Structure 1
Amino acid sequence: MGRSFFITGTGTDIGKTITTGFLFYSLNRLGLKTTVFKPFQTGLIEETQTYPDLDWFQSILGVGNAGCYALEPETSPHLAIKLQGAKVNIEAVLQRLKELEQANDIVLVEGAGGLAVPLIEREDDFYMTKDFIKDANMPTILVSASGLGSIHDVLTTNQYANHHEIPIQLLFFNRFEETNIIHLDNVETLKRIVQLPALAIPFFEDVKNELESYCESCIQSEAFKKQIQEVFRYETR
């Protein structure tokens, strides 16, 4: 029986999908059978009639049928469900997740937006992303930008996670520039404040050709393999 990890971000369009792809490649290369799952995808691209993240998983990672509910409006899931008149069964989502866990070592579950996102509107309240994470008993990976404002965004999200007893296992920084003093200081400052491990990856001009080769170079590092082992709690090889 495998284990799921929830990938969330400090906001929308922060780089969760690239992070998911990086971890997918890395974990598989390290001998861990890994797949991806996007329970809620909103925002149909009219020109291509595709859903961006699900299409990316198919075209870049080669993982088809990675979703559960695909909703046309480009909004928060709860509003997309309302606008589309869709019926959502969260138990079916959790069951699908269990099936993926049974077939894999690791399931990377990509969220919609950040942690404080409503998924389903109920009569008296909302079923939130935090509720889904807790129902599925998933540790979380927090994705952030690397630049100015990242310290505030990470700290406020981390505080929300702690308040709701959601364990964050790893900080992950996108579009990291190793010569940028702000980026360097943000990562080191946040590691000290929140006492969590961190990984950072650069911007890729050509994701399809560059991401996988970048992962290959990372897994040559013993320090990287050790960090992956500590976060995902599996023996790497």
Structure 2
Amino acid sequence: MKIQMEIESNKVEKVAAQSDWQVIETYFNVLNHIISSIAAVYMSFLCYSTGYKPISYHSWLCTIGYQLLMTQAILALYSENVWSKQHTRQTQKTIHWVLQAVGSSTAILGIIIQYIDRSLNSKPHFSSTHSIIGLIAAIFTLIGMFNGISALWSIKLKNYVRPVYSKLAHNLHGTVAYSLGMTALSYGYDQDYMQAYSREDIRMWLQVLLFFSSNLTLIGASRAALNHYRNAKNYKKTQNESMEPVK
């Protein structure tokens, strides 16, 4: 009887601890939404006030693409995300790929606009840390879009690529693309355009907020990557065991 009561007490304590942690995660999740919205609103106002020119479109599109839409796309699959946790898993996945597709296209369009503008004005390409990281981010973003399709249709493509591998690849490529994109944005806040039209303290706070937002966003993505890795590892182990000769 005593042992049974101790077991039940441990279960209650474990559930209470999980509940407390979920509350903390929810608070941080709300904070993350506020941070990404602040950055998007500020950059929208700044780019509008500085006029319709390529650098304004580049800055605005990349910020909206990575810091707003891609952040929301990743958070859509997060278990404690305030606006998506009430939906079914299938609905969450649909919201995820729609936001991811729009965010990726928006960011890449911003990069293309800047590339064309620099070409027309005979300016060198990829001559700064910001632009080099941005280029690598764009490449990984494109890769993530393509293997996102394979992850979306993983069941139908299972004869060619095992779903467990396509989901892991999509998660890893997406995480790298998002991390690089946010890093490029951080460097972008120190570029000539921002220095000319934004105060130094504001630029610093944009970088600080971006750092916290990207790390909070990647919590759920890191969990998912770990789960996909474990599933892939278990699948490979099962396949190896099935191929062993019967003694």
TM-score range relative to shorter protein: under 0.3
Which of 1 and 2 has higher RCO (CA within 8 Å, sep 6+)? Answer: 1
Task: Give TM-score scaled by structure 2 length.
Answer: 0.27
TM-score if structure 1 supplies the norm length? 0.27
Greater C-alpha Rg: 2
> Which structure features the higher share of helix residues?
2
